[in-house]
Amino acid sequence: MKFSVLMSIYQKEKSEHLDVCLESISNQTLLPNEIVLVEDGPLTKELNHIIQKWKEKIKIIKSIKLEHNSGFAIALNAGLKACSHNIIARMDTDDFCVHERFEKQISYFKEHSEIDILGSHIAEYDETFEKMLHYHYFPLTHKKIYKYGKLRNPFHHATVVFKKSVILELNGYPDKLRKMQDYALWGKLLASGFITANYDDILVKVRAGDQLYKRRRGLEYIRYEIQTLKYMKDVGYLNFFEYLFNLSFKTIVRILPISFIKIIYEKLLRQKKVLVQRTK
């Protein structure tokens, strides 16, 4: 089963993070047939150096260059159309794939042809990848994913593998939204009746730390979240009362001090111990 890896990068990202990310892909037990890397506007000399280095090493990177920084959704939609294969694995340029990520997820797709999108659990690390902070587990079955998504994003974006044909049928990532375009897309996907799952293993290591909490608070973030919630109501995933509940609860959380937000994430929304049983 041939598949593409879809990534997007812009000039503010760190070249050393990209280097680690591409190395983790190159060391997979099942290599992708291509990596579609969207360069969202002009990049730094350091980023260009890393891209060229890996183009020479693994020879499967296809660059899609956008003239200006157009934003995450527009960049991913451009890359989506450029992918040669119907099965597409997403990856963020500052994260790390565990050794067997693609082998496990592609094998799952082969065995469950009805699945349209498949994510996995993640491990959250500090900025340097030296200290593991938390595990983040997601519901496994479609029924539980549908319910969970009413309150929180049911997939970590960097873990998903999906069918290109399905995402194109949904008109791609909603590029009118400034943030949380992936969450909005999953809401539309769930509302449209497509089948979902999460693989019961930690397949991606992501950078988190205090910067995560800082990005997820404040009036600007609230505005973005309201736009996303309204989108999910308009596409039929959230009903009016679910929309109001989310709006009220999440607005309160986003204005709390960072110390309180950190407690919510670390004590209530993350886990320290690894789950060993698949929940049905």
What pLDDT, in 10s, does the model give residues 254-273? 765 656 656 555 655 555 54
CA-nearest of 187, 159, 161 to 173 is: 187
Q: Are the C-beta atoms of residues 221 and 227 closer than 8 Å to each other?
A: no
Token pair, residue 217, equals 């608070």
Between residues 172 and 130, the one the model is more confident about: 172
Q: Are the C-beta atoms of residues 23 and 96 closer than 8 Å to each other?
A: no
The percentage of the chain sitting over the pLDDT mark of 70, rounded to a whole number, equals: 86
- Residue in the block written with tokens 């910067």: 211
| Pairwise CA distance, residues 253 & 248, whole Å | 9
* pLDDT for 269: 52
| Pairwise CA distance, residues 156 & 176, whole Å | 21
Token pair, residue 47, equals 């980023």
Token pair, residue 162, equals 């999906």
Using CA atoms of 220, 94, 89, 157 in order, give the dihedral in degrees to the nearest 10.
-30
| Pairwise CA distance, residues 71 & 195, whole Å | 28
Name all domains of the chain by residue range, CATH numbers in brackets: 3-207 (3.90.550.10)
Strands 61-66 and 34-40: parallel
Token pair, residue 117, equals 């999108």
Q: Kindly tell me if the per-residue pLDDT of 171 is higher than 70.
A: yes
Q: Kindly tell me if the per-residue pLDDT of 151 is higher than 90.
A: yes
Using CA atoms of 159, 98, 18, 72 in order, give the dihedral in degrees to the nearest 10.
0
